[in-house]
Amino acid sequence: MTSSSPSRGKWSGWLLVSPLVLVLVPFFVLPIVIVLVASFLESDGFGGLIRTFTLANYGGLLSSKLTLALYLETVKFAALTWFFSLIIGFFVAYFLAFHVRNQLLAIGLFLLCTVPFWTSNIIRMISWIPLLGKEGLINTALIKTGLIGQPLEFLLFSGFAVVVAYVHQLTIFMIVPIFNSMARIDRRLLEAAVDAGTSRFDVLRLVVVPLTKSGIALGSIFVISIVMGDFFVVKVMSGGGTASVVGAFYEDIGVLQYPAAAASAVLLTLVLSALVLLILRSVDIRREIAQ
Amino acid sequence: MTVLATPVALARARAAARREGRPWTFYALAGLFIFYVVALYGPMICIYVLSFQDVRGGLVFPMKGMSLHWFVDLFTQVRTGDVKGSFDRSIKLAVLVTAITVVVSFMAGLAFRRRFPGDTAVFYLMIGSLVAPGLVLGIGTGLLFNALGIETSWYTSALGAQLSWILPFGVLVMFAVMSRFNRVWEEAAWDLGASRWQTIWLVIVPIIAPGLIAVGLFGFTLSYDEFARTLQTAGSLNTLPLEIWSMTLNVTSPSLYALGTVTTIISFAIIGASLATIALIQRRRAEGGRPGGHA
């Protein structure tokens, strides 16, 4: 990047981002600090906080077997969602970027994929109910064709339904950055690889995947952080049978146990930050998106 | 293919194959794509259809009758909550968020084109705010307002909480828009003696107008459907997603689907209007590019 524009003050950059910072400090930094502080306080049992310093909230959290179980459950959903959304997202993006030759058509199909993203997540989640339910379309169809004698119970209000709802909502977060990376790949590179005798699979493995690494990383950050920070899909789609990390501290909030909830929130934020940093290590996101 | 074939002949054969037919992977991936789109829209279409049942209607197929009963029910029944009021609030909030997102993202987009002291810190602050669990931030914001003795409400705490995730999104979209902006035009304006404001208003803004509309579209729709950050910050009056959320827990009639249909119609109207405006601008430009046209 060259910066040779005339009469640009040294501070104009700061001036221009100041509104952004003025929103992020009170509504991101301070809330995180408040949650951190609250995690060391005691609850008076009526929603109030007692000014003291205690590690009891963390002690309770880390010694509870429930915590580990909740994290395992949440990580399981995050991993499954990540896997399926990556596979589907990668190949949908690949199809749009390399197989659709008409560019206008490619943009149209791309928009077709993105439109639901701009509609309500909750509505998209509950829209699986008429399909997956005991008397839903899938079960009815399977029974009518004689493939099964009894409705499949695992389709709705189960871990299966949770993963379906997540993949349905989040695959777009994989498609967009991966498609973006793929669109930037010089087509001559692929031609060269093919002409040099590389097999189709090896072109994918040795050329396309490495060049879309940043898109994959960006998509993974979105998908993993959303699943791990979510509770309402698990709550509704599992039928209440499965808990999640965020769901558990939402219940704590419900009974006004703010310090316990705060400790749990801090732990989750630490785990998430570690995951995101791990992903960021493999790719310079800023250079990728702000180039 | 023989081992003896020369690379040139091989390449030629492949080129010919490319011209003639598509590889099998095309059909496999086209199949996957169609499957994805059907799975994306199919369930949504189901609930739109089911929302038009009559009074006997249930949550699953088959359709029981055809009527607008559940739409009327939605806006007249008290037990389904304050749908009208929450609609009103959600739209107002979304408009507010859109305006702020477009202006702030545009400014940040301008700033991030070059390095400035602390730019990396601001960038990671933004990424952090984007990926932080929404409910955690919502609770933190609620506690903050509590500690300061300010009542939480949809137009103060919820507005800020929503912006903390929608602004970073807008700025990321703005990065993509700005990366396609050719600095030469700006330099030309400078060289011709335009002031800083003139350069922004008369050169940069018109050129990236479609991108700004896209940022606005993100701002509106993300705010209109935002749930996790609003839950603990909206105060006593619900926004629409909060209303839908409480309905998913208590209401087991097609009025839930009717609400889904109504809110999706609004989303689609906004998406359609934004995309149509972008297309219109692009078209005008294409025409302006022809000889005799105006730029």
Chain segment B258-281, per-residue pLDDT in tens: 888 988 888 889 999 998 999 899
Mean pLDDT over the full length of chain B? 84
Check residue B238 and report its DSSP letter: P
Do A290 and B123 make contact, defined as CB atoms within 8 angstroms? yes
pTM: 0.86
User: What pLDDT does B1 receive?
Assistant: 38
Work out how many domains chain B is built from and give that number.
1
Residues of B in contact with A231 (CB under 8 A): 135
Residues of A in contact with B144 (CB under 8 A): 26, 30-31, 34
CA distance A167 to A125: 10
User: What pLDDT does A6 receive?
Assistant: 42
Q: Is the peptide bond before B62 cis (omega within 30 degrees of 0)?
A: yes
**A173 neighbors B130 (Cβ within 8 angstroms):** no
Do A99 and B131 make contact, defined as CB atoms within 8 angstroms? no
Nearest to residue A247, comparing CAs of A116, A81, A67, A88?
A67
Residue B121 has pLDDT above 60, yes or no: yes
Alpha-carbon gap: A15 to the closest alpha carbon of chain B (Å): 8
Residues of A in contact with B244 (CB under 8 A): 120, 122-123
Give the confidence band of B161 by pLDDT, cuts at 50, 70, 90. Answer: very high
Min mean pLDDT across A152-156, B3-7, B110-114 is at: B3-7
CA distance A61 to A255: 16
Select the residue from B50, B123, B135 to test the A interface by mutation, using most A Cβ atoms within 10 A. Answer: B135
Do B143 and A258 make contact, defined as CB atoms within 8 angstroms? yes
User: What pLDDT does B163 receive?
Assistant: 95
Residues of A in contact with B119 (CB under 8 A): 13, 17
User: What pLDDT does B32 receive?
Assistant: 94
Is residue B196 assigned to a domain?
Answer: yes
CATH number at residue B231: 1.10.3720.10
Question: Is the minimum CB–CB distance between B132 and chain A shorter than 8 Å?
Answer: yes
CA distance B159 to A27: 10
Is residue B183 assigned to a domain?
Answer: yes
Residue A49 bridge partners (DSSP): A43
CA distance B238 to B246: 10
Q: Residue B165: what residue type? A: W
Residue B250 has pLDDT above 90, yes or no: no
**B67 neighbors B52 (Cβ within 8 angstroms):** yes
Is residue B200 assigned to a domain?
Answer: yes
For residue B167, what are the domain limits? 81-250
Q: What is the dihedral of CA A161, A162, A167, A169, to 10 degrees?
A: 110
Residues of B in contact with A129 (CB under 8 A): 47, 59-60
Do A20 and B171 make contact, defined as CB atoms within 8 angstroms? yes
Alpha-carbon gap: A31 to the closest alpha carbon of chain B (Å): 4
How far CA B88 is from CA of A125, A259, B171, B259, in Å, comes to: 23, 35, 27, 14
Question: Is the minimum CB–CB distance between B150 and chain A shorter than 8 Å?
Answer: no
Alpha-carbon gap: B200 to the closest alpha carbon of chain A (Å): 13
User: What pLDDT does A2 receive?
Assistant: 40
Nearest CA in chain B to A87: B32
Mean pLDDT of B229-233: 88
SS3 labels along A19-64: HHHHHHHHHHHHHHHHHHHHCCCEECCCCCEECCCCCHHHHHHHHC
Do B107 and A133 make contact, defined as CB atoms within 8 angstroms? no
Is residue B125 assigned to a domain?
Answer: yes
Residues of B in contact with A289 (CB under 8 A): 172, 175-176
Residues of B in contact with A265 (CB under 8 A): 133, 135-136, 139-140
Which residue's structure tokens are 């179980």? Answer: A69
Q: What is the dihedral of CA A171, A175, A176, A181, to 10 degrees?
A: 150
Listed by start position, the domains of chain A span: 65-289
In chain B, which among 69-128 make CB contacts under 8 A with chain A? 103-105, 107-108, 110-120, 122-123, 125-128
User: What pLDDT does B171 receive?
Assistant: 93
Chain segment B57-96, per-residue pLDDT in tens: 777 777 777 888 888 887 776 666 678 888 889 999 999 9
List, in order, residues 6 or more apart from B121 with CB less than 8 Å away: none
List, in order, residues 6 or more apart from B269 with CB less than 8 Å away: none
Percent of chain B with pLDDT over 70: 89
Is residue B103 assigned to a domain?
Answer: yes
Residues of A in contact with B147 (CB under 8 A): 34
Residues of A in contact with B145 (CB under 8 A): none
Do A124 and B44 make contact, defined as CB atoms within 8 angstroms? yes
User: What pLDDT does B288 receive?
Assistant: 75
Domain A65-289 has CATH 1.10.3720.10: yes
Do B164 and A27 make contact, defined as CB atoms within 8 angstroms? yes
Do A120 and B144 make contact, defined as CB atoms within 8 angstroms? no
Q: Residue B201: what residue type? A: W
**A186 neighbors A254 (Cβ within 8 angstroms):** no
Token pair of A283, please? Answer: 């790719």
Which residue's structure tokens are 């749009």? Answer: A96
CA A127 to the chain's CA centroid: 20
Number of H helices, E strands in chain A: 17, 2
Residues of B in contact with A121 (CB under 8 A): 225, 227
Do A120 and B127 make contact, defined as CB atoms within 8 angstroms? no
Min mean pLDDT across A12-26, B54-68, B106-120, B130-144 is at: B54-68
Residue B295 has pLDDT above 60, yes or no: no
Of A11, A99, A136, the CB nearest to B26: A99
Please give the span between the terminal C-alpha atoms of chain B, in angstroms, as a whole number: 54
Give the confidence band of B294 by pLDDT, cuts at 50, 70, 90. Answer: very low
Is residue B191 assigned to a domain?
Answer: yes
Of A38, A130, A236, the CB nearest to B47: A130
Residues of B in contact with A117 (CB under 8 A): 221
Alpha-carbon gap: B85 to the closest alpha carbon of chain A (Å): 18
**A20 neighbors B167 (Cβ within 8 angstroms):** yes
Is residue B121 assigned to a domain?
Answer: yes
Give the confidence band of B131 by pLDDT, cuts at 50, 70, 90. Answer: confident
CA distance B142 to A248: 18
R_g (Cα) of chain B, nearest Å: 25
User: What pLDDT does A291 receive?
Assistant: 52
Percent of chain B with pLDDT over 90: 24
Is residue B226 assigned to a domain?
Answer: yes
CA distance B223 to B97: 7
- pLDDT tens across the length of chain A (291 residues): 344 444 455 678 888 999 999 999 999 999 999 999 988 988 877 767 778 888 888 888 888 888 888 899 999 999 999 999 999 999 999 999 988 888 888 888 998 898 888 888 888 888 888 888 878 888 888 888 888 888 888 888 888 999 999 999 999 999 998 998 898 888 898 889 988 988 888 888 888 999 898 889 989 998 998 899 888 888 888 877 777 888 888 888 877 788 888 898 899 989 998 888 888 887 776 666 655
CA distance B171 to B233: 23
Token pair of B7, please? Answer: 């690379």
CA distance B127 to B167: 10
Secondary structure (3-state) at B155:
coil
Do B127 and A265 make contact, defined as CB atoms within 8 angstroms? no
Token pair of A40, please? Answer: 């060391």
Do A23 and B104 make contact, defined as CB atoms within 8 angstroms? yes
Do A265 and B139 make contact, defined as CB atoms within 8 angstroms? yes
User: What pLDDT does A8 receive?
Assistant: 54
User: What pLDDT does A227 receive?
Assistant: 92
Do B135 and A250 make contact, defined as CB atoms within 8 angstroms? yes
